[in-house]
Amino acid sequence: MNVLMYCLPLMATSTPCCAYLDAGSSSMLLQLLFGGVAGGLVFLKIYFRRLVSFFKAKK
């Protein structure tokens, strides 16, 4: 399960945003991932939210 958790971020496409680049969010998520299952769920939730907002914006 842990291996799966660590692989999840690799599925994310990397799009750098320099001006507001903040190591804080990533390190928080990293801690969640190391913490176990909940971290993976949060990761999926972030992407699900992004997907929803993408379709909402289309309307």
Report, in Å, the least distance between residue 59 CB and other proteins.
21
Residue matched to tokens 């990533």: 26
CA distances from 28 to 22, 33, 35, 53, 54 (A): 11, 9, 10, 23, 24
Considering the complex, state which of residue 4 and residue 10 has its C-beta at the smaller distance from other proteins: 10
Report the residue from 1, 4, 14, 55 that binds other proteins according to the rule CB under 8 A: 14
| Distance (Å, whole) CA 8 – CA 48 | 13
* Residues contributing to the site for other proteins (CB under 8 A): 6, 9-10, 12-17, 20-36, 38-39, 41-42, 46-47, 50
